[in-house]
Amino acid sequence: MSAPTFSDNRSEHAADQHLFLSEAYDLITRARLAEAGVGSGWRCLEVGAGNGGIARWLAGRVGPDGWVLATDLEPRHLTPQRRLSVLRHDIRHDPLPSNAFDLVHARQVLPLLPERLSVLHRLVGAVRPGGVLQLDDLDLGYGPALLTPDQRAAELYQKFLTAKAAVMSATGADSTWGSRVATAMRAAGLVEIDPVPYLSQWRPDSPGLRLQLNHTYRLREPLLAAGLTEHDLTELRALLTDPGFRAVSCVFYSVQGRRP
């Protein structure tokens, strides 16, 4: 199976998507990883590493005795460096060592994979006893417009969010997975589970809203198939770049669990 449309790194829009994800969430992800205690000598696995922003940060953090392995189905945006190895790897079925890593981290990868529950079990198995799994995943089910020129624009934005959720679901992705990660981690045998939700205001210069704009181009065809019109997309792009537009972000969940 090829990568879903919105996570195919061969797309001309992929680099922007990675950039906006990094700008929106790297600070939160790093703060959480720091809270988990990632430090000198740790062996870390970064799954579906995208542009490698978090993997590079980890490589700096683990010092000369540590090591980071960054994997991706299509690792063309990843560059190896000291203490950071890059591997083309499909987390659904390629070999993965057991009990091997102090930390396993993935952000916005499991929601895209229909096999997310079996992947979760594989990730848990890769963590050494006492080690940490951190999943940073979105729930796109909430995030209404707060300030629009008129009611029609608010409805158009909602129509876009609904169509995007339908596009995701048609590929087996789960647009609300983020809010269920903690429960799934417990069912997979992890302990000390700590789910933290994050919400913010989105404005046209927010990376989260620039990502939405990116999706109006990247997902153009499936969005049209899901019921949006070319006219809707044109109006939507004007709305997403209107300096007065405000929305609530989707909910970003950073969830940690420890392997007993």
Ligand X SMILES: C[S@@+](CC[C@H](N)C(=O)[O-])C[C@H]1O[C@@H](n2cnc3c(N)ncnc32)[C@H](O)[C@@H]1O
Residue number with CB closer to ligand X (73 or 239): 73
Q: What is the β-pairing status of strands 43-47 and 67-72? A: parallel
Tell me how far, at minimum, the Cβ of 207 lies from ligand X, in Å. 11
**Going by DSSP bridges, is the β-strand pair 67-72/84-88 parallel, antiparallel, or unpaired?**
parallel
Q: Which is nearer to ligand X, 44 or 145 (CB)?
A: 44
- The minimum distance between CB 196 and ligand X, in angstroms, equals 16
- Output 108 or 148, the one with its CB closest to ligand X: 108
Residue type, 176: T
The residue ranges that bind ligand X (CB under 6 A) are 3, 7, 9, 18, 21-22, 48-50, 71-74, 90-92, 107-109, 112-113
**Residue number with the smallest Cβ distance to ligand X:** 50
Q: How far is the CB of 29 from ligand X (least distance, A)?
A: 8
Q: Which is nearer to ligand X, 50 or 257 (CB)?
A: 50
From the centroid of its chain, how far is CA 133?
Answer: 15
**Which residue, 60 or 244, has its beta carbon nearer to ligand X?**
60
The sheet carrying 246-248 orders its strands as: 145-147, 246-248, 201-202
Shortest distance (Å) from residue 198 CB to ligand X: 14
User: Cβ 7 to ligand X, closest distance in Å?
Assistant: 4
- For helices 230-240 and 207-218, the axis angle rounded to 10 degrees is 160
19 phi and psi angles, rounded to 5 deg: -60, -45
What does the block give as tokens for 64? 């000369």
CA neighbours closer than 13 Å in the CB half-sphere of residue 115: 12
CA atoms of 147 and 151, how far apart (whole Å)? 9
